Amino acid sequence: MKKIISVVGARPNFMKVAPIHKSFLDYKNQIVHKICHTGQHYDEKMSKVFFEELELPEPDFYLGVGSGSHATQTAHIMVEFEKILIKESPDLVIVVGDVNSTIACTLTAAKLNIKTAHVEAGLRSFDRQMPEEINRILTDSIADYLFITEQSGIDNLLKEGIDKNKIHFVGNVMIDSLTKYLVKSDNSEIMNKLNIISKDFVLVTLHRPSNVDFFDQAEKLVNLLNTVALLRKVVFPLHPRTKKNWEDFNLFSKLSKNIIITEPIGYLDFLTLIKNSLLILTDSGGIQEESTFLGVQCITLRTSTERPVTVTIGTNQLLGSDLQLAERTAIEIINGKIKIGKVPKLWDGQSSQRIAKIIVEKLNCNNIEIGN
Ligand code: UD1
């Protein structure tokens, strides 16, 4: 029997680990799969609700690290995760995405000579101002198995000199969750609750430090949203980071009445909002992919994306470096000038099964090698 620990920490991790957990249940005679929650995100609406909706079991380990500066948070996760690894001695640690929990747990495992797998590897924004970019590069440089969502991931890793035998193009596990829960999300009451009509509202999410931590940029974005709100209702579930900064900057008083601000929203309600929206304005990574899969118009308010396939073949447009152009494009989309997109290769709901199969083979191979 082999033991695997998968790590979740922040909101975008839960929908990635849920299908992986389920795929390992097909191998329950060979694999014990455990979940460690670092506690990077801890509010009920940022964490617990996702476990319930994604039918994930309670985490086997909860590190309870909470918020802090990058060094504090990363170090705290490492100290606590090391204790778990020493006690449990797993055969493999799986990390997903690019948050501080991802690099912290990969580094901890690597130093204990425990094998690691990175799901959603190889993505690069080429913007090292983003904390996530540092997390991505470092994680990929030490992980043993690299699971890729799009061709750019392979190209980037090969350019960085990563051994091609470590790289596996498996598709996008987040789309596994999306395809699984899309029908269930039809029961959501969120549209009625917010009094909005399908394809008649604009959905917004903003939480990147570059967009919400500095007054000038935060104010420019509020002005952009106010313009869009002249044409359609705007729905904006507020991330805690954004809420705190907007309070400090006194920006709530400047918001149009046509902008509906909500608390962070659970997975099923959020899927309902994505699929029914006319247009999404976002700086999230995952939402660029979800909108591309669903064929929903998306404007990304960032200067770079680590997910270029959403722009080259999906419905995404990267317009953060010119907010006037972003505003004009939003108006054009609302008036019917849409971008037609396609679904990227292997975003078919089967990615976690591919990952589980590869990992089972790899772990058994190692066994044979040791036996020889
Ligand atoms: C983190 C990830 C980011 C991801 C985002 C998704 C890093 C470096 N960043 O950013 O890649 O896109 O999650 O949401 O890992 N807070 C709460 N409640 C919570 C969690 C956070 O109130 O449950 C507040 C705290 O004030 C905290 C702040 O939000 O200081 C930021 O949280 P943190 O985890 O540091 O980064 P995020 O901005 O959430």
Q: Render pLDDT for 211-267 as a digit per residue (tens, 0 to 9).
A: 999 999 999 999 999 999 999 999 999 999 999 999 999 999 999 999 999 999 999
123 lines ligand 1 (CB under 6 A): no
Q: Which atom of ligand 1 is nearest to the CA of 244?
A: 26
Ligand 1 centroid to residue 231 C-alpha, Å: 31
Helix (H, G, I), strand (E, B) or coil at 328: helix
- Residue 96 contacts residue 120 (beta carbons within 8 Å): yes
244 lines ligand 1 (CB under 6 A): yes
Protein residue closest via CA to atom 2 of ligand 1: 99
Ligand 1 centroid to residue 320 C-alpha, Å: 21
**Residue 58 belongs to a domain with what CATH number?**
3.40.50.2000
Q: Which residues pair with 94 in a beta bridge?
A: 6, 117
Q: Kindly state whether residue 372 falls inside one of the protein's structural domains.
A: no
Q: What is the pTM of this model?
A: 0.96
Close Cβ partners of 123 (under 8 Å, ≥ 6 residues apart): 98, 136, 149, 150, 152, 153, 156, 285, 306, 307
- Is the per-residue pLDDT at 296 higher than 50? yes
Let me know if 207 is a catalytic residue.
Answer: yes
Q: Kindly state whether residue 38 falls inside one of the protein's structural domains.
A: yes
The reply to whether 257 and 355 lie within a common domain is: no
List the beta strands (DSSP E) in the chain: 2-8, 31-37, 61-62, 92-96, 115-121, 145-148, 167-169, 201-205, 233-237, 259-262, 279-282, 297-300, 316-318
The reply to whether 258 and 323 lie within a common domain is: yes
- Residue 102 contacts residue 95 (beta carbons within 8 Å): yes
Q: Tens digits of per-residue pLDDT, 41-81? A: 999 999 999 999 999 999 999 999 999 999 999 999 999 99
Q: Which atom of ligand 1 is nearest to the CA of 102?
A: 15
Q: Kindly state whether residue 216 falls inside one of the protein's structural domains.
A: yes
Domain that holds residue 64: 2-171+347-362
- Split into its structural domains, the chain has a count of 2
The pLDDT value given to residue 81: 98
168 lines ligand 1 (CB under 6 A): no
The reply to whether 271 and 152 lie within a common domain is: no
The pLDDT value given to residue 92: 98
The pLDDT value given to residue 364: 85
The reply to whether 200 and 100 lie within a common domain is: no
Q: Kindly state whether residue 368 falls inside one of the protein's structural domains.
A: no
Helix (H, G, I), strand (E, B) or coil at 94: strand
Q: Tens digits of per-residue pLDDT, 121-151? A: 999 999 999 999 999 999 999 999 999 999 9
